[in-house]
Amino acid sequence: DPRFPLTGGVDVKYGLSSNLVLNLTGNTDFADTEVDLEPFNITPFKVFIPEKRQFFLENSGVFNFSLGDRDQLFFSRQIGIDPVTGNQVPINGGAKLTGRIGRLELGVMDVDTRSSGSNPYSNFAVARLKESLWAGSYVGVMGIDKRSGDVLDRFNRTGGVDTRLVFFKDWFVDAHAAGTQSPGNLSGNSDVGASLTYRSNWVEGIVERRKTGPNFNPEVGFVERPDSNETYGDVTFKVRPSVPGVRELQFEGFILHAPDTLGQVSTQEWQNTFRAEFHSGAYTDDDIVDVFTQRITSPFHIYKNVFIPVGLYHFTRHQLTYGSGQDRKFTYNFFERFGSYYGGALNEFRVRANYRPTAKFSISASQTWDRFHLRLPNGNFSVVLASVQGNYSFNRFLTFTSIVQMDTSNTQAVSANLRLRYNYRPDSDLYIIYNVGTQFASIAPANPPQVRESRFAIKYTYSWQR
């Protein structure tokens, strides 16, 4: 019956030596992967959603190539997931070799995906080498080659070198240079940056310079904003006063100046933050002032038929956060951010609570409420995101997890993920999974419409060791 397809796959993990591991996968199925929590993007930039699929997570650290902040030269979610819709793209097979040979850390990966919807057949080849120097220091190289069945975008190549140098335990120098190549071989396709960081018990600071060309396009990476000439500075002072109940106070300030590569103002921000940590585990994290300048170069889709028009905007925001200690049966945190926003006003309120009465049962609930008052037609609206997650262990072999999410933004959607797992022997499982509703896995900017899905799956895995 085509409505209930029966598929099979294979995953192999083989230790070539004590320091080298080979992972193989064929017709890969990620039905047992934890679902993504629903984001609502209030910025004109991409959303970073962390990787959760086991094949890509295992020994993933070797593939890290930081470009600054959350930007990465290699981002595994670009393989097997449509970045706009969040739909899974079927994986024919893949191989990954990771480990260490002497002072050399290496990672090599090759993955094939088949044509699905608007996504053509693609092959992804990744190689990463890092040579250890003195304590905490390294120099590395990375190469990525994407081949595609898309006649307009047949290939995308990415290469880079990076280093971290540690001096006197407290000083860190990070630097990188990377470039991309696509059909047309456009100029302005490089990313170069360096930073100097100091860390001690009482003060932390960083100064960073980075230039990202307008045509720098690592299709298998994550770059929040191209065409940027960024200068960034941040300093945090930490004190431990003789005040009952107070463990540490922190005072932080940073400045970001990021015009485009032609010198036109694009993004500017400066912020002052106060934090307090208490002996009970509770904390506060308060932005006293957060001042933005942001240029919108194309209409920004924020909600249904509401678009923020092109222009240069200035706004100021403030933030209050309080969280309880995390070592109790009941924990919670509150977040409130308010102020001006693209010619209007925005108030963001978030609350999350977790309750774990026994070792077998836990439940958590969260809600985000964003209230917009924009000087635009239909500019007064609210967006509510909510989720409830539950976990119950019948015994050490049988567990049930569930998550229900609600979204009143562009999709007006509700989704549910129910998963029963029977771990009948080490690394061998039987899963029964039911997903219904809207997927929330898009990393694209401007909140594109999401895709509805109903899926019932039974997944059986069996592993053995030679």
Residue ranges per domain, the chain? Answer: 31-48+224-460
How many angstroms separate the CA atoms of 154 and 123, rounded?
A: 11
Evaluate whether 159 touches 142 at the Cβ level (below 8 Å): yes
Q: In this predicted structure, which of 288-292, 301-305, 345-349 has the lowest mean pLDDT?
A: 301-305
Cα–Cα separations (whole angstroms), residue 366 to 302, 351, 385, 414, 443? 22, 6, 8, 14, 21
pLDDT of residue 201 exceeding 90: yes
Q: How confident is the model at residue 279 (pLDDT cuts 50, 70, 90)?
A: very high
One-letter amino acid identity for 197? T
Query: What Rg, from alpha-carbon coordinates, does the chain have?
Result: 24
pTM given for the model: 0.88
Query: Dihedral (C-alpha) 337, 339, 345, 347: value to the nearest 10 degrees?
Result: 20
Predicted pLDDT at 361: 95
Mean pLDDT of 170-182: 96
Contact of 420 with 431, CB cutoff 8 Å: yes
- Residue 367's closest CA among 353, 379, 356? 353
Whether residue 212 contacts residue 226, with contact meaning beta carbons closer than 8 Å, is answered with yes
pLDDT at 440: 54
Question: Any idea which of 106-115, 150-159, 371-380, 394-403 has the lowest mean pLDDT?
Answer: 150-159
CA angle 373, 301, 83 (to 5 degrees): 135
Say whether pLDDT at 101 is over 90. yes
Find all residues with CB under 8 Å of 50, minimum gap 6, and list them: none
Q: What is the DSSP string of 189-243?
A: -EEEEEEEEEE-SSEEEEEEEEEE-TT---TTSB-S--SEEEEEEEEEEEE--S-
Q: What is the pLDDT of the chain when averaged over all its residues?
A: 89
CA distance 270 to 12: 49
**1 contact partners, CB below 8 Å, separation of at least 6:** none
Burial of 247 (0-12, 13-18, 19+ CB in 10 A): middle
pLDDT greater than 80 at residue 416: yes
- pLDDT value at residue 442: 54
118/126: higher pLDDT? 126
In terms of Cα–Cα distance, which of 267, 303, 269, 271 is closest to 287? 271
Cα of first residue to Cα of last residue in the chain, in angstroms, is 37
> Can you give the pLDDT at residue 411?
62
Helix H or strand E encompassing 55:
helix 54-57
